Amino acid sequence: MLETVHDDQAEQLRIAVIVASVREGRFGVTVADWFTGHAAGRSDITVDLVDLARFPLPLVMPDFGGTPAPEAASTLAELSPRLAAADAFVVITPEYNHSFPAALKNAVDWHREEWHAKPVGLVSYGGISGGLRAVEQLRLVFAEVHAVTIRDTVSFHNAWNAFDDHETPHGCTAAAEAMLDQLVWWALALREAKTVRPYAG
């Protein structure tokens, strides 16, 4: 977990950066390392890196109101509190077959209130499309779990050629800052609203 230093911790927002791909040899770690390093330079947020490869949730879920199997319960005991503690999310996703990874959809489906009334920024990567088709589908999914996706995104087209030998991308800093500025605005607005009136999800 990367955290920035700030005099007034109460003013900082906690951003969970979710690495969506769990594939062996995935490029998402490179993108995540760059993004979390960049975000950690801001004084208004702390960053919690949530790598879904470390949280292998099963595809079989309990009945509504049922109890998860012990292995799933153990994974949820570590993952769920981190999602619940976040004021906002940034999802780093590739594009698989015109969509996003199944591991991400599974993690979304295992949770509910953890997403409610929180903003989600989207960072995508891929070939010629830059993962933008995954982004469009994620907007629909997060709307269903009462989350707000940020309009501006960061996308890496032909991502494997977009980073130099030091795993730093060519450009994209301005796009990342614009997205983070919007994410912080929404996160503060929604956090303040929920202190006045609980969200009715």
Query: How many Cβ atoms from other residues are within 10 Å of residue 136's Cβ?
Result: 16
* Tens of pLDDT, residues 176-192: 999 999 999 999 999 99
Q: List, in sequence order, the alpha helices (H) in 42-129.
A: 70-85, 102-109
Residue 112 has pLDDT above 80, yes or no: yes
Task: State both tokens at 76.
Answer: 């949820």
Which of 103, 99, 152 minimizes the C-alpha distance to 129? Answer: 99
92/154 Cα distance (integer angstroms): 9
Which of 180, 195, 198, 190 minimizes the C-alpha distance to 15? Answer: 180
- 159 compared with 43, residue with greater pLDDT: 43
Share of the chain above pLDDT 70, in %: 95
89/112 Cα distance (integer angstroms): 14
pLDDT of amino acid 3: 40
User: Looking up tokens 């700030």, which residue turns up?
Assistant: 6
Residue 39 has pLDDT above 70, yes or no: yes
3-state secondary structure of 24: coil
Which of 167, 96, 168 minimizes the C-alpha distance to 134? Answer: 96
3-state secondary structure of 60: coil
DSSP 46: E
Mind listing the domains of the chain with CATH numbers?
Answer: 9-196 (3.40.50.360)
Which of 124, 123, 131, 126 minimizes the C-alpha distance to 159? Answer: 126
Residue 165 has pLDDT above 50, yes or no: yes
Residue 171 has pLDDT above 80, yes or no: no
* Tens of pLDDT, residues 4-20: 334 444 579 999 999 99
What mean pLDDT is predicted for residues 90-113? 97
Task: State both tokens at 162.
Answer: 């977009």
3-state secondary structure of 194: helix
